[in-house]
Chain A
Amino acid sequence: MNCTRAQENFPNLLDPRTPADAHADDRAHLASCPDCQREYASLARTLSALDRLPAAKPSPRLRAGFYAMLEQEKNSAASVQAAVLRHRRAARVSLWRWILAPLAAGALALGGFFAGTRYAPVPAPAIDPATKRELAELRAKVDGVGQLVGYTFLQQRSANERLQGVLTTLDQKNPDQKILANLVGALALDPSVNVRLSALDALYPHAGEQLVRTGVLASLPREQNPLVQVAMIDFIVAARDRNATPELERMSHNESIDRSVRDAAKRAIAQL
């Protein structure tokens, strides 16, 4: 072992993560070589001084700036859309489990029934009225299960579950008044922007119903988020709800409301 070789291994000897019994040859050389000891000691002193440097602390500005930036990103249209899509995908999986699976089972049973009637050697008798009634009841029950799942989810506490509940109602063609009232309630009262937007999305197919139009119009004045406000105004225009004109007039002149919302209100008045 010579000085050059030993000094090449100083990085390992100076690294506190190196085990004490490693590099025994280098340590033995160091113990017996005054030149290497001087070199090692000066490097060790520099490192020691470096380690004693006080840690700089950031000002509160960094934390405030970070959380403001995070909040802005969470509320951006792209993030909200991504969240809705993500929950919609999750809701589809849930739909498959709760609704589509029983429906598929029913369809399979019906397919088997028709195949049996077609290929059976003896012509099957026509379905009697009692069987027809039972089938109709079965279909109604399956649809009822779907509605119940959606209604139950709307009562859950977690925002994800509430959103999933709203999205479950999207594919229902004939949700009852109770579910529509729940959706309107979610639009008016839910603390999550994602849930409110999804509820509005779910109400679109039922824009012709008086309950829905009144609910959206009543929710508009209490809404604070510009994104949801603009979506509600778009809904009112799509529903051709002329009863909303006074409220839209008020909004278009209210300087405390976001400019994009005021512009949307003005456009809506012109379209109505």
Chain B
Amino acid sequence: MIATLTEINVQTRPSVVSLRAPTPVDTATDAISDHELMLAVRDGELDALGELFERYHGPLYGFLAKLTGHHAAAEDIAQTVFQRMLKYRHTYRDDGSFTAWMYHLARRCAADHFRKTNSAPAPTDPSDLQNHADEAPDASDRAARRDDHDLLHLALNRLDRDAREVLLLSRFQELSFAEIANILECSAGAAKVRAHRALKELRDIYLALQREGPARN
């Protein structure tokens, strides 16, 4: 039987707000836009960056955790992103978009991370492990692959990094394709095509992994 359109409706994606960790945000600053806060940081009011951190460290960390597949690395990169926001605050433009700028910096920091880890294995401090109770399971743990989330994580990790990046930006970060195009330095149409290709590729890997699962049992 052919599925009707109503049966194959995509579940509405969770909003970024619901994905964020509950954080104490000063209600007095709720009305101030991200752009205004970043302009204040640029003009020397460094405390305004604290508010931006509270608003965005969760989604940024989520993006980096899925991009790198490694929680400790995601934290280090997120920290570096906020460090670079401070260091390069004078480069933030009057007509800029804060989220686009933040993910632009995040891509650069992630690229640096991948360059380093490709040339040298990342050392792990055993004392840090207790801070990461939800660390992703070892990729070699074949039994865990039966779990859907693990399969999807595995499929994501098998995607080309550029494809993974555009898919995560378009699906989780509530960015328009115009903003994604700005981050990826391409046209909005090209960003949309790349996101769709990435989705098809992910689907193929995901389905292949699902087929592999029962075969191993």
Contact = CB atoms under 8 A, between A and B. Distances in A.
Interface in B179-217: 192-193, 195-196, 199-200, 202-203, 206-207
A42 interface: yes
Interface string A207-225: 0000000000000000000
B83 A69 contact: yes
Contacts, number: 132
Contacts of B46: 70, 73-74, 79
Interface stretch (A27-35, A195-203, A226-234, A238-246): A27-35
A73 B86 contact: yes
A70 B200 CA distance: 42
Interface residues on A, range: 35 or more
A126 B207 CA distance: 105
B44 A27 contact: no
A61 interface: yes
A67 interface: yes
Nearest to B148: A49
Contacts of B199: 11, 14, 43, 46-47
Nearest to A62: B75
B115 interface: no
Interface residues on B, range: 35 or more
Contacts of B57: 58, 62-63, 66
B95 interface: no
A10 B44 CA distance: 46
A86 B65 CA distance: 39
Contacts of A58: 21, 57-58, 61, 71, 74-75, 78
B28 interface: no
A56 interface: yes
A47 B202 CA distance: 9
B82 interface: yes
A48 B10 CA distance: 6
7 contacts: A48-B10, A50-B171, A51-B10, A51-B11, A54-B134, A56-B65, A62-B61
Given A37-B2, A52-B149, A69-B79, 5 more contacts: A10-B196, A41-B3, A51-B10, A53-B153, A86-B44
